[in-house]
Structure 1
Amino acid sequence: MKYNLLTILGPTATGKTGLAAHVTARLKGEIISADSRQVYRGMDLGTGKDYADYFVDGVEVPSHLVDIEAAGVHYNVYRFQTDFIRVYNEIQSRGKFPVLCGGSGLYLEAVLKNYRLIEVPPNRELRKELEGKTLEELTGILKSMKPRLHNDTDVETDRRAVRAIEIEKYYAEHAQEASEMPEIRSLNIGIDFDREMRRQRITLRLKQRLEEGMLDEVQKLLDSGLTPDQLIYYGLEYKFLTLHLIGELSYDEMFRQLEIAIHQFAKRQMTWFRGMEKRGTKIHWVNGHLPMNEKVEEILNLLE
């Protein structure tokens, strides 16, 4: 086989995990998650962990890099790349086939394009200098260091913007050492739905997760000692549900604003994937409307 990795990607609510599990079961492989928020324990419904999707014909497909960190810890692309290399090598050593699955474009590209990454420690002095600056001012500083922002979430909150500035400053001052990434030959599969269907799936999924107790999940995280600011840092569901729980948004306002934010997020994900293609990553787009067995066979045929 000319490929040593299968990557299944797509925007939120396109059924990536279920498809990855079915293909992985056929390959007798193991899944590596590429989701920047599913690494956190206790953040389940809000991050869209669909545990049932990992089961195929009653058997659980092995998976990695889900539920590996406590909520509140800052996981990042450097740590993901390091964890990916370790898990990938372990899977290969067992003679199993690795399947990378997720929607975090930066994480995916860090593997597929072998980004040269280094760990960035906190810079207390810089943080003190930036204290009190508005988000607009912080965004301006970041853009002066990095004119083309790859990730809008870097400037979603003051805290994220400060961290992004900290990283750019460190990278500018320190020579980067190449990470010891294995030679990756990946077949990249994208799940394609038209925009309207994608919107319908997002809204339906949001309603289902709220019915399943997503608000209770966020309340439980707050009760465990996490501050509202810590949860708001994670954006999307955790931001808007926290704002509702602390009384800043009514339920209807929360739902409406969150629904819009997830639609915008999915659009940004697609923009990133199209950007990956422009930057030289070949993605085979599979029709999301096809029955599961047809999608699986199409992917297996491409692999062979």
Structure 2
Amino acid sequence: MYQKKYDLITIVGPTASGKTTLAVNLALQLGGEVLSADSRQIYRGMDIGTGKDLSEYVVGGRAVPYHLIDIADAGVRYNVFEYQQAFFEAYHDVAQRGKQAVVCGGSGMYVEAVVEAYDLRPVPQNDELRAQLEGYTLEELTEQLAQMKSLHNNTDVDTKKRAIRAIEIATYYSSHPDEKVSYPKLSNIYFGVDIERELRRQKISQRLRDRLDAGMVDEVRTLINGGVTIDDLIYYGLEYKFVGSYLAGRMSYDEMVQGLEIAIHQFAKRQMTWFRGMERKGAVISWIDAMLPLEEKIGLILRKLEE
């Protein structure tokens, strides 16, 4: 019988690394439940584009409970401050029932917000800082943000606008420390799924083709017909940004596919930049080779938990 040593077991990794499969099977092994830390799987109706395959949460006919998926309507601009509140509510429900909470996500910002128990508050716009940052590339902004100890209250940094807002908020917190209050810090252990760059690229490209074949364009068209605006889709980034732009007549189908594929590869690279930034700030992440059989991955985690 597994004896719980940590409040949270957190599985991180870039997109297409297989972290969800690992987290679900680990939770099943431990009699635990999965708390998603994906900034877009929170939205109802955004399924194919976010890779929200709920069948993954059923293993051998056994359902693994999950939380923080499908908790907001598409079109809403849910932020990490709201996610943090929802997370702690879900965590307390899991903990009160004596279950192990397994956090799973590639949204490093969301992961840090709950694991590090950051307090997040609305922050005013800083036009001077925005002007200073405008000349930087998205890569440079992401690197700068990953090195900052404060956190911000927006979603993933897959556009320059979001990255600049993130730095703006982190900068505000650094000069207004008295406006922050404490959240309970939960004990946590990190595991990361380490996938070789070229294999990651291959899996991303294949998964994009699979999602297009599964009807991703029709999914986005349905969202638009349901009242979700093109601006909302651009806000959600990646698949929704590019497919939305295609449906709006702003690019051809081939331009959409090519641009989206490049953007997802860049996003995966930024995810790893974020996780490395977490390590530089003191997070200890035990990395596991993505190519290992699932049973070996779980075995490595279980042995680490017993140390």
TM-score normalized by structure 1? 0.86
Which residue does the alignment assign to 1:215? 217
Contact 2:143 2:274 (C-alpha < 8 Å) held by counterparts? no
* C-alpha spacing 1:96/1:16, structure 2 compared with 1 (3 Å): same
* Structure 1 letter corresponding to 2:274: W
Pairing of 1:90-169 with structure 2 (within 5 A): 90-115=93-118, 117-120=119-122, 137=131, 139-140=133-134, 148-150=144-146, 154=157, 156=159, 160=162, 164=166, 167=169
Contact 2:33 2:64 (C-alpha < 8 Å) held by counterparts? yes
Query: How far did residue 173 of structure 1 move?
Result: 6.2
Cα deviation, 1:151-199, whole Å, max 9, x if unaligned, reads 99558265x4786588568755684232432x32212110111100000
Q: Equivalent residue of 2:249, what SS?
A: coil
Which residue does the alignment assign to 1:176? 179
- The number of equivalent residue pairs is 290
Q: Equivalent residue of 1:25, what SS?
A: helix
Which residue does the alignment assign to 2:76? 73
Which residue does the alignment assign to 2:5? 2
* 1:276 and 2:239 are equivalent in the alignment: no
**Of 53, 56, 64, which aligns to 1:53?**
56
* Identical-pair percentage: 50
* 1:88 and 2:82 are equivalent in the alignment: no
| Structure 1 spans left out of the alignment, 5+ residues | 131-135
Query: How far did residue 118 of structure 1 move?
Result: 3.0
Cα deviation, 1:68-113, whole Å, max 9, x if unaligned, reads 0011112112112222211111111001110000000111111222
Cα deviation, 1:182-224, whole Å, max 9, x if unaligned, reads x322121101111000000100111111110100110000000
| Structure 2 spans left out of the alignment, 5+ residues | 147-151
Query: How far did residue 30 of structure 1 move?
Result: 0.6
Contact 1:7 1:188 (C-alpha < 8 Å) held by counterparts? yes
Which residue does the alignment assign to 1:246? 248
Distance 2:209 2:282 in 1: 37
Contact 1:240 1:257 (C-alpha < 8 Å) held by counterparts? yes
Q: Equivalent residue of 1:271, what SS?
A: helix
Which residue does the alignment assign to 1:133? none
Distance 1:63 1:147 in 2: 32
TM-score normalized by structure 2? 0.85
Contact 1:139 1:161 (C-alpha < 8 Å) held by counterparts? no
Pairing of 1:9-28 with structure 2 (within 5 A): 9-28=12-31
Q: Pairwise CA RMSD of aligned residues?
A: 2.8
Query: How far did residue 40 of structure 1 move?
Result: 0.5
Q: Equivalent residue of 1:188, what SS?
A: strand
Distance 2:253 2:293 in 1: 36
* 1:237 and 2:236 are equivalent in the alignment: no
**Of 179, 186, 189, which aligns to 2:188?**
186
* 1:32 and 2:28 are equivalent in the alignment: no
